[in-house]
């Protein structure tokens, strides 16, 4: 949880702009946990540096704009963007093929699930743009529906848990585990649904 302490100190000094900027960079692949960034935003609101409700709005704006820029980069530059040295480190040919296969199986739901999968958001969102398997509007709406679940949970968890920092750390870990369990259930349900639909066809 060293990240949490570092981010709290940084955000306390620079407020909304710091949270917004870090979240956008997270969308570009910055190796900083997005959920921890949102929790830190909630904590500094509890400390009186910002307003928790405005922080929720800033959090939503940061993640959605960051994700949209990544999607748009893939959409407008196509597979050429994969030749960029920085991008090629994030999305290898093998990873690109895997994500493509997931889009064939699950369609737009891959975008929804990627929001809860740290480390895979950028490759999935960029691939969604490159492949043009979903329109920008569908991408944005799907991403928004996922973000409206995760963002307020992390921000308000930080806000209400700031008074007991050690307990907050435990809640963050429990929350991350819960998200992964929920994601596994969603994937299982989708897999069963797709299998049954193909079997009937």
Tens of pLDDT, residue by residue over 137-169, are: 999 999 999 999 889 988 998 888 877 766 666
Burial of 79 (0-12, 13-18, 19+ CB in 10 A): exposed
User: What is the residue range of 70's domain?
Assistant: 2-200
Q: What is residue 174's predicted lDDT score, i.e. its pLDDT? A: 67
CA–CA gap between residue 147 and residue 144 (Å, rounded): 5
Tens-digit pLDDT profile for residues 79-118: 888 888 878 777 777 778 877 877 777 777 788 888 877 7
CA-to-CA dists, residue 84 to 70, 81, 89, 91, 141, angstroms: 14, 6, 9, 10, 28
pLDDT digits (tens, 9 = 90+) for 14-35: 989 999 999 998 877 777 788 8
State the Cα–Cα distance between residues 143 and 125, nearest whole angstrom. Answer: 9
Query: Mean pLDDT over residues 131-142, rounded?
Result: 89
Condensed to tens digits (0 to 9), the pLDDT of residues 163-193 reads: 776 666 666 666 666 666 666 676 676 666 6
d(CA 40, CA 46): 10
End-to-end CA, the chain: 49
d(Cα 156, Cα 90) in Å, to the nearest integer? 31
Domains contained in the chain, number: 1
């Amino acid at each position: 949880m060293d990240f949490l302490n570092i981010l709290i100190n940084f955000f306390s000094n620079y407020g909304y702009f710091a949270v917004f900027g870090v979240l956008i960079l997270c969308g570009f692949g910055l190796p900083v946990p997005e959920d921890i960034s949102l929790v830190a935003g909630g904590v500094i609101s509890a400390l009186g540096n910002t307003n928790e409700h405005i922080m929720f709005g800033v959090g939503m704006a940061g993640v959605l704009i960051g994700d949209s820029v990544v999607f748009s980069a893939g959409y407008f530059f196509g597979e050429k963007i994969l030749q960029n040295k920085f991008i090629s480190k994030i999305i290898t040919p093998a990873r690109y093929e895997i994500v493509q296969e997931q889009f064939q199986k699950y369609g737009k739901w891959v975008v929804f699930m990627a929001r809860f999968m740290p480390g895979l958001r950028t490759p999935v969102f960029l691939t969604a743009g490159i492949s043009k398997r979903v329109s920008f509007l569908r991408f944005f709406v799907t991403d928004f529906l996922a973000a409206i679940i995760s963002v307020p949970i992390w921000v308000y968890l930080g806000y209400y848990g700031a008074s007991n920092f050690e307990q907050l750390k435990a809640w963050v870990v429990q929350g991350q585990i819960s998200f992964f369990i929920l994601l596994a259930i969603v994937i299982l349900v989708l897999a069963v649904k797709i299998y049954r639909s193909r079997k009937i066809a």
